[in-house]
Structure 1
């Protein structure tokens, strides 16, 4: 708050000084100018005829997609099972790789803060920075299309997520328990097994279930790039404009995600 005295000797309070007001209005002007510039660039690369015609197209697709083609459901059980396997095996593989990375990244468990911790943090950042679809595209080019590429893509994408949450949990443990076990003459591995691991096991279980729930969602779309699962059937139905099949697949995906959310919530509730 800025204060000044008027000629009658009364105090006049102002919320901002002239310099602060000028700075705020300048910021607003720059923001509006940036918005107008961005909007012009977007408008130049947008075919507005299709935008205005979108409601009619959406209504036409909705008419073609209802009712769902229930006769197609028998062909979806195997792809749905593949999707669940991609998420489950990918999560298990990620946890196996994330645990040692987390212990190397945590300040209180890493053998070397200068040699081993930076590569562990790099692995965490690198695997979290690239989307699972991009990993799937790269792996399909390397090992070919199929469920295995989807499993590896999910696993690699999940390493950073799991390792980050785990190493943060490791750094937040109660050090008095660790010191008490170390005072008995226990070795480094015994201290880790009896002083650290029991404290982080609830966090480990919660991270595993939470990531599995996320991976169910991500694995449903990996088939769009050829990595197996129900997304492959969705891609095929979209390419053939079989909208009745598309709506059925979307309903199956919605049911699968809802079921995974229910299981995840129950397991996390039991853990917590």
Structure 2
């Protein structure tokens, strides 16, 4: 009998204390959810919420059929969008490469000063959305394509820099030691010991970022940073829903093509 009671105590799923703590945690989580929900919906006009399906159906009926005659006017803005993404990616790569080498533990000249500065730049770039960068730059340098290009570049620094410095830290140090053993200089160690190992990762990261920038650059025109987003904003302001549909279809097609191109290029490189 004692063995049976010992066996049941041994295989108890949870102790009374752990069960109490578990239920207390669940009750606290539910209470937090209810409080957050009340806070977020305090100013909600529920009539608009209940009327949303009818409004969505009304707008949807106005969006079809798409205005195909509007497509010729979108070609130049679409080309501007692609240029924003491409030039912004190139600018981001140029700025991110030295930041990545400064952030990597095995290549930074100063782990106490330069590395924290480089990591701060990476975090700051990744923390601010491209749309916010564009909004700030439109206010500083004015509306146009330049603001969009710089916004994409600044946003890309953090993404490229983070992935690249992690690739630098993961290199095979035996190759670096072999190059150093024959008396190579610092530049030669970098050129023959480090760069060849990170080149595939560099191209893969850059192309992947370009693919992401195609998506992000399509909406920068909403804040005046050029591209097809300007046409989208104009169509929304004039309630030209058939034109909005055409723009959305064109954006979708562009994203699909960019995804296909980036996939093919990455596969060819890797």
- 1:249 counterpart = 2:247: yes
1:79 aligns with 2:69: no
**1:10, distance to aligned residue in structure 2 (A):** 6.3
**Cα distance in structure 2, aligned partners of 1:26 and 1:52:** 35
Within 5 Å, which residues of 2 pair with 1:49-198? 49-198=47-196
Q: Is structure 2 residue 267 aligned with structure 1 residue 258?
A: no
Q: Following the alignment from structure 2 to structure 1, what is the Cα–Cα distance between the partners of residues 245 and 44? A: 28
Report the Cα offset of residue 157 of structure 1: 0.3
- C-alpha separation in 1, matches of 2:195 and 2:99: 14
Quickly say closer, same or farther: Cα 1:9–1:220, change in 2 above 3 A.
closer
SS of match in other structure, 1:173: coil
- In structure 2, stretches of 5+ residues that fail to align are none
- Quote the offset at 1:40 in angstroms: 1.8
Deviation per CA, 1:52-93: give whole Å up to 9, x if none: 111111111111110001111111000000000000000000
TM-score, normalised with respect to structure 2: 0.97
How far apart, CA to CA, are the structure 1 residues paired with 2:209 and 2:110?
28
Equivalents in 1 of 2:5, 2:84: separation in Å? 77
Secondary structure of 1:72's aligned partner: helix
Q: 1:260 to 1:9 in 2, by over 3 A?
A: closer
Which structure 1 residue ranges, 5 or more long, are not aligned?
A: none
C-alpha displacement of 1:34: 0.8
1:42 offset after TM fit, Å? 2.6
Question: Cα gap change, 1:9/1:58 in structure 2, threshold over 3 Å: closer, same or farther?
Answer: closer
Name the SS of the counterpart of 1:111 in structure 2. Answer: coil
Kindly indicate whether residue 34 of structure 2 is the aligned counterpart of residue 36 of structure 1. yes
Q: 2-side partners of 1:231 and 1:43: how far apart?
A: 30
Instruction: Give 1:39 deviation, angstroms.
Output: 1.8
Question: What is the match of residue 221 of structure 1?
Answer: 219
Q: Which residue of 1 aligns with 2:45?
A: 47
Q: Work out the CA distance in 2 between the residues paired with 1:36 and 1:260.
A: 43
Aligned with 1:15 (options 13, 19, 29): 13
Residues 82 and 22 of structure 1: CA distance in aligned 2, closer, same or farther (over 3 Å):
same
Count of residue pairs the alignment pairs up: 267
Change (3 A) 1:242 1:9: closer
How many angstroms apart in 1 are the aligned matches of 2:54 and 2:232? 23
Give distance in 1, aligned partners of 2:42 and 2:193. 62
**Greater than 3 Å deviation, 4+ residue runs:** 8-11
Structure 1 Cα separation of the partners of residues 267 and 248 of structure 2: 28
Give 1:43 deviation, angstroms: 2.8
